[in-house]
Amino acid sequence: MKILVTGGAGYIGSNLVDALLSEGHEVHVVDNLSTGKIDNIQHVLGHERFHFVNDSILNRTLMDRLIAKVDQVYHLAAVVGVKYVVDDPLKGIITNVTGTEVVLQKAYKYWKRTVIASSSEVYGKSTDVPLAEEADRLFGPTTVPRWSYAMAKAVDEHFAYAYANKGHPVSIVRYFNSYGPRLDPKGYGSVIAKFITQARLGQPMTVFDDGGQTRCFTYVNDTVRGTLLAGTVPEAVGHVFNIGSNRETTVLELAQIIRELVGSGSEVQQIPYRNVFGEHFEETRRRVPDIRLAAEVLGFRAETPLEEGLRKTIGWFRQAWPREKLAPGRSDLAGFFEPSEQELGAGR
């Protein structure tokens, strides 16, 4: 098949591209390289079944042309993660709402099966764990920009359902903390990148508050497999699926596992949220997916054990970010994860 991956130069998108090429498909990517990297797709640039356009999903003429000529669309392009959305809320909202609207409008026009990437963020502060696809969601006020990412993804889902209501074949995947090779060291899910870099450099591994908050870290091969199932299983059409592992890990436990796997002597240091994000920061204490629907309809279950996935990810970091590249002056990555005096609460 001919398949369009929006955001295909990104972390998950480029791993999806590899899987699609290995299945024999012809793959088209549109990505404006805002957080995506040419390094992520360098190895396939000369591939006869791979085509790349460096442009925005907001370019309606381009999207019309691209979607007209493919059989299927995986829509992953987005301004991803709370940090970027807080830095520039307007860009985040326009990309994540209008961009998805453009993709869905064109996919509907040419009647192309579509998968929309959503996020576990849409559950907000819900404590109704495990989080089920049809459960209620809970958010903070609109004056707090962090919630605009979750809201935009929720609007995307409403858009998708509105088109599904017209019979269009569309499915939605809600990703839970994906990690693995090509993870942007400074991007979404960076707690794993942060701990790996801190452990490799022997810096303190900084855990927010008591480190008792939990996440379900999901290896990228599982994330990709769930996405492909959502795009191919006939019964997936018109539904939303949690795509994630259900192994619940505290951030403190994660730090300890990574320290051991790296073979590091780093100390684990606790930092109050308020030192980093101010007084009014709201964090989700537990984020655990209900995995029953994905298992029943898609036959999906995350399979990669955390330790194995982390070992592979650490191996990739060692190769992509060799120690020389982490030396002061060679990149700002080492310094990026070093806690500031303020974060450590100096003088308090």
Ligand X SMILES: NC(=O)c1ccc[n+]([C@@H]2O[C@H](COP(=O)([O-])OP(=O)(O)OC[C@H]3O[C@@H](n4cnc5c(N)ncnc54)[C@H](O)[C@@H]3O)[C@@H](O)[C@H]2O)c1
Contact residues toward ligand X (CB under 6 A) are: 7, 9-13, 30-36, 56-58, 76-80, 95, 99, 117, 119, 175, 177-178, 184, 187-189
> Tokens 């669309």 sit at which residue?
73
Pairing type for strands 178-179 and 218-219 reads: parallel
Helix (H) or strand (E) holding 242, with range, is: strand 240-243
Query: Does 149 participate in catalysis according to the annotation?
Result: yes
> Which of 149, 179, 188, 219 is labelled catalytic?
149
Q: Is omega for the bond preceding 130 within 30 degrees of 0, making it cis?
A: yes
Amino acid at 66: L
Find the shortest distance in angstroms from Cβ 118 to ligand X.
Answer: 7
Helices 99-109 & 60-69 angle (0-180, nearest 10): 40
Find the shortest distance in angstroms from Cβ 186 to ligand X.
Answer: 10
- Is residue 258 within 8 A of residue 195, CB to CB? The reply is yes
Report the residue number, 201 or 314, with the smaller CB distance to ligand X: 314
d(CA 45, CA 18): 11
Find the shortest distance in angstroms from Cβ 233 to ligand X.
Answer: 19
Report the residue number, 107 or 201, with the smaller CB distance to ligand X: 107
Three-state secondary structure call for residue 130: coil
Find the shortest distance in angstroms from Cβ 329 to ligand X.
Answer: 26
Report the residue number, 201 or 215, with the smaller CB distance to ligand X: 215
Report the residue number, 12 or 160, with the smaller CB distance to ligand X: 12
- Is residue 344 within 8 A of residue 270, CB to CB? The reply is no
Residues recognised as catalytic: 149
